[in-house]
Amino acid sequence: MAKHIGILTAGGDSPGLNAAIRGVGKAAQNSFDMNVIGFRDGFRGLMENRVMRLEGSALSGILTVGGTILGTSRDKPHKMPMGNEYLDMTDVIVDNYHRHNLDALVCLGGGGTQKNAYRLLEKGLNIITLPKTIDNDVAMTDTTFGFDTALGIATEAVDRLHSTAHSHHRIIVVEVMGHNAGWLALGAGMAGGADVVLIPEIPYDVESVAGAILQRSQGGKRFSIVVVSEGALSKEDAVQIRELEEEKANASSKKQKKAANARLRELTATQAEHTVRLARQLEDLTRLESRVTILGHLQRGGTPSAADRLLATRLGTACAEMIQDGIYGVMVAARGDGTEPVPLDQVAGKRKTVPPDHPWIISARRLGTNMGD
């Protein structure tokens, strides 16, 4: 009997999602004679039973298209906004899974999606996931689709800013995405020839950054490029956050935990403006004019790179084969030129950050790139 599978995309959009949907769908139908449906707008669409048929024409012409034909959302099965409150809609999702006689549900997403998918696995559903995010921070996979495209966009932006920076005696501060992992900033900074790269894994000392810029200026360099990850922290902020997290973990009452949470949220909110604040601090310390460019969602848009199309297709077709073989409860991880099923309990709730001895960091330091420390 032919197997029935459902597909959804959740979390932030990312280049390569449509290539992955196509890879799963075409391989499932052409090689294994499966029936494939999609659910619109992530876990919310599955809860609301909003279905899209993924047959023939629906999968044609989408390989090069950015975004996701299924749409996406950040809604969580166990904490879904319903009117003015958040409700646990997991049981409704489980009912809809069985209503469609699904043999497996394929969830395409980043770290949050892996956690939400694992919750459904614990409810007895056959779940298999694919790792997507421009942040490249999903655990247990060599890389995620979406990262290569975003890296190319961020690098091109740094390249373009070089020309305007060269025309003025300025500091150009470029903020890139990456959440709490520095892969995107580090990669774009190195590929774009940045003079300073600041990532979340290495809390920075603004005096060190200013000193590196002044040294360049005194050596006759007319500009400096500073690439900053959106999650980068000064040493002072890093200490405050660590202390508040310890206070929260050791709280003996709900009231104390709530107070620590509130202070954490307040500090995190101020961090949203950390790049602008950093630029002002560098102006004060160096007496050099600074300009800030925040790339934002530009890094998620447009046509996926060839590398991301290949990766998404490879993971998608491997996913279909694993479903055919009855392999569930796993993420299809990229491993070298191949793929590997990794148990979801080894992925959910974990984050892949840049290790301090990573070859990219070693290379950057040997080039003389200032890492903020």
Which listed CATH number (3.40.50.280, 3.40.50.460, 3.20.20.480, 3.40.190.10) goes with 151-300? 3.40.50.460
β-pair partners for 131: 109
C-alpha–C-alpha distance, residues 228 and 371, integer Å: 10
Dihedral class, residue 179 (left if φ above 0, else alpha if ψ from -120 to 50, else beta): left
User: How many Cβ atoms sit within 10 Å of the Cβ of residue 287?
Assistant: 10
Assess contact for 47 and 333: CB atoms under 8 A: no
Rg (CA), the chain: 22
Q: Rounded mean pLDDT of the chain? A: 93
C-alpha–C-alpha distance, residues 61 and 54, integer Å: 13
Q: What are the sequence ranges of the domains in the chain?
A: 4-145+304-346, 151-300
The closest alpha carbon to 16, from 138, 111, 141, 148, belongs to: 148
Number of helices and strands in the chain (H, E): 12, 13
Residue 265: per-residue pLDDT: 75
Residue 55: per-residue pLDDT: 87
SS (H, E, C) 250-299: CCCCHHHHHHHHHHHHHHHHHHCCHHHHHHHHHHHHHCCEEEEEECHHHH
Helix axis angle for 147-166 and 183-191, nearest 10°, is 50
Residue 1: per-residue pLDDT: 78
Please name the fold of domain 4-145+304-346: Rossmann fold (3.40.50)
Residue 329: per-residue pLDDT: 98
Q: Which residue has the tokens 């490029």?
A: 225
The closest alpha carbon to 131, from 11, 36, 296, 267, belongs to: 11
Dihedral angle over CA of 198, 204, 210, 213, nearest 10: -30
Q: Which residue has the tokens 């034909």?
A: 69
Q: Which two tokens stand for residue 38?
A: 């999609």
Assess contact for 172 and 225: CB atoms under 8 A: yes
Assess contact for 41 and 7: CB atoms under 8 A: no
93-123 residue pLDDT tens: 999 999 999 999 999 999 999 999 999 999 9
| Weakly modelled stretches of the chain, pLDDT under 50 | none
User: How many Cβ atoms sit within 10 Å of the Cβ of residue 137?
Assistant: 25
174-184 residue pLDDT tens: 999 998 999 99
SS3 assignment, position 156:
helix
Residues serving a catalytic function are 135
Residue 269: per-residue pLDDT: 63
The closest alpha carbon to 129, from 105, 96, 103, 93, belongs to: 105
Angstrom CA distances, 214 to 88, 229, 277, 281, 286, stand at: 55, 22, 18, 13, 6
Q: Which two tokens stand for residue 368?
A: 């003389």
241-259 residue pLDDT tens: 888 778 777 877 877 777 7
